[in-house]
Structure 1
C-alpha cells in the first residue's frame, strides 16, 4: 500500500477557504464548490490520504498564498479516541485534579492535562407518518403525510493529552449537583456554569468553535454547526501539532 500524507494548517494560520479551495480542488479532483464544502468540515487537518508529491505541491502553494501549513505522514496523525460508550455523569473539583465518574468507571485528571474543551451537537431526524382525513363536504378521503422533527443532543467534549483521553458530558444527563457548584434554575444555566468552571481551572486549554459559540451567549441547544466530524478533525489536528 503506497504511503499517503496529510496537510495540516499551522497554529498561526487563518485559512482563506476560497483561496484554499482554488488551490486544493484541482489536486484532489474536486470542483471548487465541493472543495469548499469539504474544507468547512476540516478546521485543522485540511486533507488526508494524499500522495506525497500532491501533498507537497499543495502545501507549497498554500504557504505562498499566506497559509502556513505542514505535511505529515498519515501514520503520524494522532487520532482523537472514538466517543466513549458511557458519558461522564458526575464530577468533583479539587485544587489539583478533576475527579470524574460514570456508571462504569471513575478517575482523576490533572487540570493541566486538559487540552481542548468543545461543545458538539448530534442532530437526529425523527420521521413519523401521520394519516390526514380530508373532506369536501360530500366525500371523505385519507392521505399519509410525512413529518420530520430534529432532536439535538448536546455534549461537552473534553480532550486530554497525557494520557490521550476523551470524555463527554451529556447536557441532559449530567448530575450537576455532584460538582458542588451553585445550582441554577435551568439545565442550560447549569451546563454553562459547568463549562465556565472547567475552563477557569484549565486556562491553558484551547476552546473549540462550539465552545466559543456558547461563550458569545448562544443557547447550547440551538444548532451551532459544530458537528462531530468537525470536532474530531480539530482535536486530531491539535494533538498532532502539539506532539
Structure 2
C-alpha cells in the first residue's frame, strides 16, 4: 500500500500528459447540447410545416364548399348538408396524421347580405372535437341591420355582395408536439380562408333532402 501511494504522483503526472481520446471525451461532453439543438430544430420545423398544412386545409375547405351544389331541374342549384359533410370529410382526409377530428375544429360559415344590406352569417357548421367557436361571429349574426360588416381580421375583412355568398372557413388546431412541447407556444394554430361561391346558388336555405344527412351544428 505504501508503495502504491508513493507511486501516485508519477501516475498522475503521466495521466496529465496523456492526450489520448481527447476528441471522444469532448464529443461526449458536447453530445447533450447537440441533441438538444438537433431535436429542437426538428420540433420547430414540424411546427412550421403544421402551420402551412393547417392553412392549406382552410383554403381547401373554403374552395370545396364554394364549388359544392346539387343541380335542380326546376330551380337554382342548392347547397345541402351532405355537401357540407363531404367538404369536412375531404378536409379530414387532407389533414391525415394531424388527426384534426380529435385535435382541431373546422368552422364553415355562409356569409351573405341581409334584406337591409348588411352582412349576415346565414348558416354555420362545425366539425371536430376541440372546443372552439368562430372568432368572427356565429350563425344568425347580422340577420337584420348593418352592424355586421363582414368576417375576418379588421385589416382584411371579407364581405359578400348582394345575391352572392362567401364560404368562410376557419381551422383551429391544437398542435401536437413530437419531442419538446415546451419550445412551442400554447396557443392553437388558427387559419382562415374565404371563397366566393363559384356559380349561382339558392341562398334561401341550406337543404337536407331525404335521406337526411347529419347536421353538424356548431
TM-score higher than 0.5 = no
Structure showing greater radius of gyration is: 2
Which has the larger helix fraction?
Answer: 2
Question: In which range does the TM-score fall when normalised by the shorter chain?
Answer: under 0.3
**Bigger RCO (CA 8 Å, 6+ sep):** 2
Q: TM-score, normalised by structure 1?
A: 0.24
